[in-house]
Structures are given as C-alpha cells and as structure tokens.
Chain A
Amino acid sequence: DTGVSQDPRHKITKRGQNVTFRCDPISEHNRLYWYRQTLGQGPEFLTYFQNEAQLEKSRLLSDRFSAERPKGSFSTLEIQRTEQGDSAMYLCASSLLLSIRNEQFFGPGTRLTVL
C-alpha cells in the first residue's frame, strides 16, 4: 500500500454513459498525476496538478475527459459519453515536489470496461 487510494477499483459501464473516478493522494503531496494503461503497454500520461492548478494535459485527453482537484487534495477524472476505446486501467500517482527528485507513488488503479 503506497498511501494513494483510488475508487472504484473496477467499473463496468455501457457505451455512452458517463463515469467518474476518484483519487486520494498521499496527504502532504502537492502534485497529482493521472495516467492510462492499456493491456500489455506502459502507462501513458494524461494530466497533472500542482495543488489545485492543472499544469499540463496530454493530447490523449479529449474533450470528453475532464479532471479536477478542487481543494488541492483529492482529484476526480470524469469521462463523458464513454467509448469502447476508453477501456483501460486509470492510474493516479502523487509526489512531493521539494527538490530535484520526483518519486511518484501510484494507487492501485481503476479498471474501466466499456461494453
């Protein structure tokens, strides 16, 4: 257990439905990241926050995706009008930016299946 939690762990939804995932980072960590991982591949970056500010978004993050970190603590990732291609593991990570090191600690992930 890294201290990063994600909810739910599994989500099955029908195409066209909206889904929302939550990530709770390690409490003192100021940076929070979202990644997506498909089967047999390495994780791919989606977006990240420093405190409540969203600093970077990947081109993978289409208009159907939105992420928030309203109080600089937990974060949510919403996917609207899900498509079968959205099926993947969604991983959240957090880090404490204090120095030039950047260990990111990952949560267990939310596995999304879109039928």
Chain B
Amino acid sequence: SQQGEEDPQALSIQEGENATMNCSYKTSINNLQWYRQNSGRGLVHLILIRSNEREKHSGRLRVTLDTSKKSSSLLITASRAADTASYFCATDRAAGNKLTFGGGTRVLVKP
C-alpha cells in the first residue's frame, strides 16, 4: 500500500518557472527521500532529509519537511526541459528498512 499522497498528481510549467510538489505521509518516519523517474526508467535519488531536519538544499532543489503535519515539499527552481519526469517521495521508519512510496507527481516542463 502507498504511504501517502503526492500533490498535484500532474504539473505542467514553462521552462524557467519553479515547480513545487507536496508529499503527505501517514506514519512516523526516520528519513524522507525524493526520487526522479524518467519514463520507463529506474529511479534516481535526488535528496534525503532526516526527520530532525526541516530544510535541505541541493543545487536547484529545495526540500522542506514538517513532521507535525506529516508532509514534505520539493521545489525545483528555474526548471529545464530535462526536469520532465515523475517525482516520488519515499519514507522509511528506520535506517536500512524498506521505503514506502507515494503515487508520484508527473512534471512536464515545456521549452
């Protein structure tokens, strides 16, 4: 079963705009991770945020985590056509354990 929901399910933006997607989860977590998946391919790890962290940055990516609301957001700044992909959040309840994924947000960046 899925851990939670991603919102929106789909997002269409122009190149150069920012893309924001949200993830909600149901249970307490240890880590929350974001992955990108291009059509028909495997998942690429983007960023990990620990449950005691509130914000992390990596290049054009910014992730926030609000454990009181059981939610996270991923912001991609200055989007590029190459950012077109599905984005998934995934949580684990302890280090090394299985990941539980959301349903994903499909992002289309139009040139």
Residues of A within 8 A of B (CB): 2, 4, 6, 31, 33, 35, 40-45, 48, 50, 56, 58, 89, 91, 93, 95, 97, 99-109, 111
Do A42 and B103 have beta carbons less than 8 Å apart?
yes
Kindly identify which residue among B2, B88, B96, B101 contacts A102, using a CB–CB cutoff of 8 Å.
B96
Q: Nearest 5 pairs between A and B by C-beta?
A: A42-B101, A97-B96, A45-B98, A106-B43, A108-B42
Is there contact, CB below 8 Å, between B101 and A100? no
Known: A40-B104, A42-B101. 9 other contacts (CB 8 A): A2-B42, A2-B44, A41-B104, A45-B98, A101-B31, A102-B31, A102-B48, A105-B45, A107-B42
Q: Please, which residues of chain A bring their CB within 8 A of the CB of B102?
A: 42
Q: In the complex, A40 Cα to B2 Cα: how many Å? A: 13
A2 to B48, CA, bound (A): 16
CB-CB < 8 A to B48: which residues of A?
Answer: 101-103
B60 / chain A contacts, CB cutoff of 8 Å: none
- When the two chains form their complex, are residues B97 and A102 in contact, meaning their CB atoms are under 8 A apart? yes
Cβ–Cβ < 8 Å partners of A6 in chain B: 42
Kindly count the residue-residue contacts between A and B in the assembled complex, taking CB atoms under 8 Å apart: 83
Name the distance in Å between A59's Cβ and chain B's nearest Cβ.
10
Q: What's the nearest-Cβ distance from chain B to residue A113, in Å?
A: 13
A16 CB → nearest B CB, Å: 26
Residues of B within 8 A of A48 (CB): 97-98
| Contact status A97-B95, CB under 8 Å | yes
